[in-house]
Structure 1
Amino acid sequence: MSDSLLSLDAAHVWHPYTQHHAAPLPTPVARAQGSWLYDTSGRAILDAISSWWVTTHGHCHPAIVQAIAEQAGTLDQVIFAGFTHAPAAQLATELVRRLPAGLSRVFFSDDGSTAVEVALKLSLQSFANRGTPRRLVAALENAYHGDTFGAMAAGARGVFTHMYEPLLFEVARLPDPSEGDTISALERLIETRGHELAAVIVEPLVLGASGMRVWSEAVLREIRARTTAAGVHLIADEVMTGFGRTGPLFACARAAVQPDLMCLSKGITGGLLPLGATVATEEIFAAFSSEDRRKTFFHGHSYTANPIACAAALASLALFDHRCDAARQRIATVHEYQLAQLRGTRGVKAVRQIGTVAAVELDAPAGYLSDIGRELAAFSLQQGVLLRPLGNVSYCLPPYCTTDAELNRVYTVLQRFLSGERAAAVPSGGPVDD
């Protein structure tokens, strides 16, 4: 079966973030359960990265699977312009109940990148609708917000974006809070261009794709204070940090910050189905309420608020109880212990951690295309552990059902790699390009 599957894949599939000219064959996965993936030969692979940061409670969680099946047999899809349904209305209500105070209006979309696009457009158009247009957006250095054009523009310029540079709109850059004085730069920006500045967008407390760079809650609170004083929107991109990754359900809650807009996706359905959401304040929503139809928010997606995805998200939210809180704390404790053992180890430049997110920066050439990341990915996969380093930064961001023994296995593989072990040459079954 695997040979046939790989032949079909090689003939017709274009994989993300993959240089097909040189990439090894992809690993054919047949099923998943809990923290584990199983390839077509039955080999078990520990999913240490939650399959691109989406799987929260574990693969194929029975409560979410049941909710999907029941909803699929009742209402599968309906246009969301002029129609509504219980899963969407209930999900919006449950999200608002759990989000920082002030966020009250939920606009559904398809994924994290589209959730960011919606937030940027809502901010810009809300100013225009009020007759006080502002066109400037500020974002952090080393940020990543997605791969659609607005999200690319807000993200850091680099290997992901250089081909499209002439087409990206201007964004004011603020220093990465993990290494620079963000607040002074923001103050200068507001002083010189505050009348143009519509929004500041941040990945709260963790800059994910640039290497899980952890930054201060105090800085986030100061950004909120400065933007509030200047009448500038704060957009919190919680696509990765949302749904418990940093400890509390949302990183903004950890910092006691109330943004004007919040972007959600990845873990919103527990990782079982794609769904995005942008949550706004009532003040922003009110800017679109008018007898002038030109002030409508002209944005939508065919699968906006898909009933099955919303049902999955409702089932996932219900699992965030005291047991899930305890599981996340347990994972954080194991991370803390294991990172303490690695700190100062030969080959390790730095370690960092927040909640269930742990990162080990390897003492090797930096950058997303660093060869060390590919070497570690290949070695770990041969050892039955899925890691996907961000260049020279290896991270572990596991499903919350991951046991201590499973988590310790991840660190054992990393220790072996640091000790000099490398993958054996194989013709197939290796990681994709990066």
Structure 2
Amino acid sequence: MSDSPTVPVIFVEEGDLGAAALDAFGRRWAQGNGFVGQRGRLLSIPDAEGNLSAYVFGTGQAAGRPPMMAALAATSLPEGHYRIEGAIGDPTLAAIAFNLGAYRFDRYKAGAVAPVLALPAGADMGDVARLVDAAYLARDLINTPANDLGPDAFEREITAFATRHKMELRSIVGDDLLNAKLPLIHAVGRASTEAPRLLDLSWGDLNAPKVTLVGKGVTFDTGGLDIKPAAGMLLMKKDMGGAANVLGLAHAIVDAGLKVRLRVLIPVVENAIAGASFRPGDVLPSRRGLSVEIGNTDAEGRLILADALTLADEEAPDLLLDMATLTGAARVALGPELPPLFSTDDALARALMDAGLASDDPLWQMPLWGPYDAMMNSRIADVNNAGTGGFAGSITAAMFLRRFVERAAAWVHLDIYGWAPEARPGRSHGGTDQGIRAVYGVLKQRHPA
């Protein structure tokens, strides 16, 4: 993506060095250094005078090759301007992968300048730029610690986002949440020194299909009075990962000019501990009119989502989709790389999984299993926020949310992790994007600009 002179990075399948665009000297150099296209190996190639001529990058055998293989090249390359050649596969995905591999979070620690890629022939320039920007936005927000991204600061970030994207924004803060009939959002965040709030953004033609996104925005989660152990709090700056990914997805939708009426609802709270904390055993009202018994104050994300989903559902959107770093049970079931997908529309769920596989943004459908609804029963209220018995925690959380969706034509819930515990192709260690490319791919197909 630069007009500067570029150094070629030649992708070579294992055992296919002869097909690489190298002169005789370069080929002998590669052979002399034992390069045969081994997966992830990067080798500089000099010219006859000893100056840098190119790099060769091994993509390994086709079987089991990560779709984001190009990211490994960016991770290894020094600062500079590059172009990729050879067996790159889908040029759009290769360019996205390279740029995601070049991601650096350098807000607090200066690091090496990332390599810059010239767009390969055939790549969709718009999609490369917007999906890379979307991922960077989500990652930067998740990686920022809570002392610099509490509810006040997060609202400033969202306000700036709305301004950049020419979106209408409404903010409901503190006790105004009670007047607006959003009592669960208020209850979860009222103990913090920074007030809870709901950010409501909208964009697009009022007559276009309604797509509403809801993102869990817990800027830090102590667990509340059911306090987490110290180890459990270490990553809780990422508990706003659902909101961060929703903002990234919203960026892609607006930037592409998709033909939708977009609404974004982000409940923003800190689940803190103070005299005003909500308590285990409390019974709280909800916007939906259901009373909620608090079985566990650490199951707070579903409470703020319940009010936000109810508000979103009232205008009967064509698609209502939420993202949330919601349950540890989802990680037990599917691990950190594969978010569970719950949906009232099986055809849509299949389309999202297909789009996720095509863009290396995998999702996996899990059931909205009706009999498990009974696990959320309460003897004194309409529903308990924590399932009994410890089984099927991701499913029972989804079933809890399902109670607050009635009118939407289709509802999708993504229980994302928002964090890469280990670096892998296209995802550096730390805060990460999940679900953005998959959902964008389906929306682009259904509502093209």
Question: Is TM more than 0.5 here?
Answer: no
Normalising by the smaller structure, the TM-score range is under 0.3
- Which structure has more relative contact order (CA 8 Å, sep 6+)? It is 1
TM-score (norm 2): 0.22
TM-score (norm 1): 0.22
